[in-house]
Amino acid sequence: MNLNSERTPTSSKNSCSIEIKKILVAVSGGPDSLALLHFIVRFFPLQNIAAVHVNHQLRAESLDEETLVHDSCQTLGVDLFSRTIDVKAIAAERKKGIEEAARYVRYQCFEEVMQEAGIDQVVTAHHADDQVETIMMRLVRGSFSSGWSGIAPVRKLGAGQVIRPFLTASKSDILAYCQRQDIQFALDDTNEETIFTRNRLRKKVIPLLKAENPSLASQITRFAEETREDFTFLDEQAGELFEACAELENGGARLDLVLLKKAGIPLQRRVIHLLLNYLYKNETSYVSTQHIKQILLCIQGKNPSAVLQLPQSLQVRRSYEEMHFFFGETPVNREFYHALDVNERIHLENDMEIKLKAKSSVVQTAGLNGIILNQADVTLPLIIRNRMTGDRMTLKGTTGTKKSEGYLDRCESAAPFARCGTDYYGLYREHLVDTRRQTFRICNLTKSRTKTIYYSVYPKFRRK
């Protein structure tokens, strides 16, 4: 946005437009926000403008700044909504840093005032130098790659949006504008204290970069815009992949790793990021690049039953080609894998015994509690294991195949073994496969379509 313009501001590639309707201006009392307020008053109908000020009660000068904002709004004829919040108490309650808590409080107040005043857009005075500092901070701290695009010109806030029309203007442009318009403002002395990372970067690092390239702010603005466009495209692709491979359930989630691993690592990374944001309810402080890296290594690794422990008791467990996310010690299906040959038997943890017998004239099949397999269709040994993503079944009377996962989930309530041994799994979730990975169901609900009898499998329940 050009502060020297005498025309109503419009959108450009690196900025944003403000619709000519009610506008809420966030005003702290500093040069940036008061310049923004004056600029908005110059170009928009006065009856459409209101201001909001949040007194954080962090400094002795806070009351003086509130008075300055009140007087400025009164002089300009702008309605003011003022809020006073004990940020230190909020920080202690939420166990957050002062800066993070102050930002949380500000935007919460903005949203409340927007609802109260019937306004759906709030404008803030973030500028190009803020953009440089923000991107530098995120790079230094190792933020997720989407953070490299910096401060967005427009973002959602509740039912409305936040607009930052000054993102292409430098700090020096704003100070020059204040001088030309004779705008009185307050200065925050804490901006000079180098105990804060942002201040150290502003005072010690960024001057060195500007000495190398005086156009640093405009270059970073271009970088942020191009990066945002690239990441927006990737995020859209990741959203579609998320819908396809993630199943949200009871406060947790399940990932289909077969589908996920078909995508490139950048999309996998974003799907995991989306999922963690959902599980942590967008509390981004719990999500780090290191956590995402650990999950990716778990997905790509050879261990089919790896376990990860994440913050807030979030458990991540891989089960072959599925990955489960849940809080606390919620049980998930325990992995098992058994080989079974003729005349052998195995015992499962739910007190079930499974035997494989060769069919003979003395073997009775009436009321068989199992399945009957054709010798020609089976390669020994048979494997009894967990259901796995990608398993398919051929149903009796059909010629095609179905994903066993979806079919058995629909049939679950009718499965005769569903009520037995469900501490970790019910038998309806187990699969019997041969060494060629042909899949059968150990249940009389569905059978192989072959009618020739040779091998038979007899599941028997033994009660303790």
pLDDT tens track for 167-218 = 999 999 999 999 999 999 999 888 888 888 889 999 999 999 999 999 999 9
User: pLDDT tens digit string along 233-273?
Assistant: 999 999 999 999 999 988 899 999 999 999 999 999 999 99
Is 456 labelled a binding residue? no
* Interval 387-433: pLDDT, tens: 666 666 666 566 666 665 555 444 433 332 222 222 222 233 444 55
- 146 contacts 155 by C-beta, under 8 angstroms: no
- Confidence at residue 380, expressed as pLDDT on a 0 to 100 scale: 73
User: Which single residue is written with the structure tokens 């995991």?
Assistant: 272
In 3D space, the residue among 323, 271, 275 whose CA is nearest the CA of residue 299 turns out to be 323
Beta strands in 57-123 (DSSP E): 79-84, 121-123
Residue 390 assigned as binding residue = no
Q: Which residue has the higher pLDDT, 351 or 282?
A: 282
Q: Between 439 and 284, whose confidence is greater?
A: 284
Q: In the prediction, which pLDDT does 463 show?
A: 33
Condensed to tens digits (0 to 9), the pLDDT of residues 428-454 reads 344 455 444 455 544 433 333 322 223
Q: Taking phi first (over 0 means left), then psi (-120 to 50 degrees means alpha), and beta for anything else, what does residue 126 get?
A: beta
pLDDT at 303: 83
Q: Is the pLDDT of residue 11 over 50?
A: no
Higher pLDDT residue, 340 or 253?
253
Contacts of 427 (CB under 8 A, 6+ apart): 348, 350, 352, 415, 417, 418, 420, 421, 442, 443, 459
Question: DSSP secondary structure string, 208-259?
Answer: HHHHH-TTHHHHHHHHHHHHHHHHHHHHHHHHHHHHHHEEEETTEEEEEHHH
Task: Compute the distance between CA of residue 166 and CA of residue 178 in angstroms, rounded to an integer.
Answer: 14
**Structural domains in the chain plus CATH codes:** 23-212 (3.40.50.620), 229-327 (3.30.465.60), 337-459 (no CATH)
Closest CA to 132 of 219, 74, 71: 219
- What integer pLDDT is reported at residue 347 of this predicted model? 64
**Contacts (Cβ under 8 Å, ≥6 apart) of 89:** none
- Give the list of residues 6+ apart from residue 42 with CB closer than 8 angstroms, or none: none
Preceding omega of 381 cis (within 30 degrees of 0) = yes
Find the range with the poorest average confidence among 94-98, 121-125, 351-355, 413-417.
413-417
Query: Considering Cα of 150, then 153, then 156, then 158, what sign does the dihedral take?
Result: positive
Q: Is 426 annotated as a binding residue?
A: no
In degrees and rounded to multiples of 5, residue 34 shows phi and psi of -75, -35
- Position 452 scores a pLDDT of 26
Angle at alpha carbon of residue 451, lines to 449 and 453, rounded to 5°: 130
CA atoms within 13 A on the CB side of 90: 17
Between CA 82 and CA 70 the distance in angstroms is: 9
State the pLDDT confidence band at 107, using cuts at 50, 70 and 90: very high
Is residue 173 part of an annotated ligand binding site?
no
**Is the overall model pTM greater than 0.75, yes or no?**
no
356 has a pLDDT exceeding 50:
yes
Mean pLDDT computed over every residue of the chain: 79
28 belongs to an annotated ligand binding site: yes
SS3 state of residue 141: helix
Pair 291, 225: CB distance under 8 Å = no
For residue 459, is pLDDT > 50?
no
Give the residue-averaged pLDDT of 350-355: 64
pLDDT score, position 379: 72
147 is in an annotated binding site: no
Contacts of 199 (CB under 8 A, 6+ apart): 190, 191, 192, 193
Q: What's the CA dihedral at 167, 134, 101, 74 to 10 degrees?
A: -20
Could you read off the pLDDT of 21-75 as tens digits, one per residue?
899 999 999 999 999 999 999 999 999 999 999 999 998 899 999 999 999 999 9
> Which CA distances in Å does 309 have to 19, 313, 440?
47, 7, 35
The mean pLDDT of 88-96, rounded to a whole number, is 89
| Nearby residues of 264 by Cβ (< 8 Å), 6 or more positions away | none
Kindly tell me if the per-residue pLDDT of 149 is higher than 90.
no
How many whole angstroms from its chain centre is CA 359?
54
Angle at 418 between CA 412 and CA 423, to 5 degrees: 120
